[in-house]
Amino acid sequence: MRLSYVIRRVFFVFMVIWTAATINFVLPRLTGRDPIKEQLMQQIASAGRKPEDAEQMWRKYNDLFGLDKPLWQQYLSYMSSVARLDFGYSINSYPRTVMEIIIARGRLTLPFLSVAIFIAFVTGILLGALLGWNKTPKWISAIVVPPLMVFSSVPQFLVALVLIYFVAFRAKLFPLGDPYPKTMIEDWSNPAFLAKYAYHAVLPILSVVIVEASGWALGMRAMMVTVEGEDYATFAEAKGLKNSRIFFRYLMRNALLPSLTGLALRLGFIITGAAVTETFFNYSGIGSTLSTAISTFDYFLLYGICLIMVVSIALATFIMDMIYPLLDPRIAYRGQRG
């Protein structure tokens, strides 16, 4: 991999984040009105907050947007706040800052969701590769593929509901919801808490894995069939290679590449991707925070989450861009040529 390639990619990440932040800055100004100010005053009045609170929020608000200064200065001070990941205070949950809320909520969903995405990807890819392999007996595909098609196309909430009803409510194997027992306090350094968190996460993870693994498996199966039709697959067999080598090094290795791009995109949406699971299993994670922020017009929180989303998508893409040339030599080559 060339240095110029890395530099170009890093530059790209910054451009994306910068553009998103700028849009965040510009959009409210295009309306001519000041939705933030209106909303802020209304919220403060209706929540019956103390005037000092309003005063401090105002100061922060002016700080962020520097309404009395020229536009370019407003922009600069806004950008420097953003660079420090300082999105100001939440309008509804003052005095908590937007970043505090994002971290507190993200902590609940991120661990189980990343585990779920990882399990879904690995099982889906392996299953799909086996199903698409021409050495796998046909009857196995005939049995396994139809359920996969169903699982990959039913809405995730249906899977969640079915799991909750049969596994949690009827069989009582797992709790009905909540990230941890209501009687416990959230303490990530307490092993007992971690154990409870993991126990509570089993069904949410399962609901994600069932749906997403089916999708990965079907995509991978189709890709395997395509790769098997390539001349290098024929030549590999003509070379008298062992089945395991053909399967892993020739077929799966090549069929995997498009799925990796898909995984990068999926990881980019890791923060928002859990909305359904969060709703049905009663997790107050980022997903539900985002929908609350939208419905209550908590602009600062909304902007903060949006920007974090953009950053995470840009970062996930960047990481994939760094790994991809190692997996597919043709990419690095194209990069060198510009």
Partner 1 sequence: MNTNVKPVIDIRNLKVYFYVKAGTVKAVDGVTLAIEPGVKLGLVGESGSGKTTMALALMRMVRPPATIEGELFLDGVDILKLSEEEMRRVRLSELAMIPQGAMNSLNPVMRIRDQILDGMIDHGVRMSRSEANQKVEELLDIVELPKKVARMYPHELSGGMKQRVCVAIAISMRPKVLIADEPTSALDVVIQRQVMETITRLVKNLNLSMILIGHDMGLMAQSVDRIAVMYPGKLMEVGDVRDIFAEPLHPYTQALINSLPVLGKRGVFNGIPGVPPSVINPGPGCPFNDRCPKVIEGLCIQKMPPFREIKPGRWVACHLYEGVN
Whole-Å CA distances, 167 to 120, 148, 174: 20, 20, 7
From candidates 178, 237, 282, 292, binder to partner 1 by CB under 8 A: 237
252 binds partner 1 (CB under 8 A): no
User: Does 155 sit behind a cis peptide bond, omega within 30 degrees of 0 on the bond before it?
Assistant: no
CB 163 within 8 A of CB 206: yes
Q: Answer for the pair 324, 260: CB distance below 8 angstroms, yes or no.
A: yes
- 8-state DSSP, 84: T
Contacts of 320 by beta carbon, 8 Å cutoff, 6+ apart: 260, 261, 263, 264
Please, which residue, 185 or 238, has the CB nearer to partner 1?
A: 238
Indicate the residue among 134 and 190 with the shorter CB distance to partner 1.
134
For residue 129, what are its two tokens?
Answer: 């590769």
Whichever of 113 and 233 has its CB closer to partner 1, that residue is 233
Residue 338 contacts partner 1 per CB under 8 A: no
In this chain, which stretch among 99-107, 114-122, 199-207, 236-244 interacts with partner 1, using CB under 8 A?
Answer: 236-244
* C-alpha span between 218 and 202 (Å, rounded): 24
End-to-end CA distance of the chain: 13
Which of residues 73, 134, 226, 261 is near partner 1 by CB under 8 A? 134
- Cα 198 from Cα 292, distance rounded (Å): 26
Distances (CA, A) of 125 to 109, 118, 211, 219: 24, 11, 13, 8
Among residues 16, 193, 230, 269, which is the contact residue for partner 1, using CB under 8 A?
Answer: 230
333 interacts with partner 1 by CB under 8 A: yes
Q: How far is the CB of 249 from partner 1 (least distance, A)?
A: 7
The CA distance from 181 to 197, in Å, is 8
Q: Which of residues 258-287 bind partner 1 (CB under 8 A)?
A: none
Of 16 and 225, nearer to partner 1 (C-beta) is 225
Residue position matching structure tokens 């929540």: 47
2 binds partner 1 (CB under 8 A): no
Among 242, 295, 337, 338, binds partner 1 (CB under 8 A): 242
Q: Name which of 18 and 235 has its Cβ closer to partner 1.
A: 235
Residues 6+ apart with CB under 8 A from 115: 201, 205
Answer yes or no whether residue 136 interacts with partner 1 by CB under 8 A. no
At 274, phi and psi to the nearest 5? -100, 10
Q: How far is the CB of 336 from partner 1 (least distance, A)?
A: 11
Residue 44 neighbours by CB under 8 Å, 6+ apart:
53, 54, 57
Nearest approach in angstroms of CB 333 to partner 1 is 6
Does 235 bind partner 1 (CB under 8 A)? Our answer is: yes
Q: Is residue 117 a contact partner of residue 212, using CB atoms and an 8 Å limit?
A: yes
Q: Does 328 contact partner 1 by CB under 8 A?
A: yes
Number of residues that bind partner 1 (CB under 8 A): 23
Member of 167, 184, 206, 241 binding partner 1 (CB under 8 A) = 241
Does position 240 interact with partner 1 (CB under 8 A)? The reply is yes
> How many residues are given for the chain?
338
Q: Judged by CB, which is closer to partner 1: 26, or 326?
A: 326
Q: Residue 57 burial by CB count (10 A; 0-12/13-18/19+): exposed, middle or buried? A: buried
Question: Is there binding between residue 199 and partner 1 (CB under 8 A)?
Answer: no
249 binds partner 1 (CB under 8 A): yes
Give the nearer residue to partner 1 in terms of CB position, either 63 or 230. Answer: 230
Q: Which stretch binds partner 1 (CB under 8 A): 47-55, 100-108, 228-236, 265-273?
A: 228-236
Which residues are at the interface with partner 1 (CB under 8 A)? Answer: 134, 230-232, 234-242, 245, 249-250, 253-254, 327-330, 333
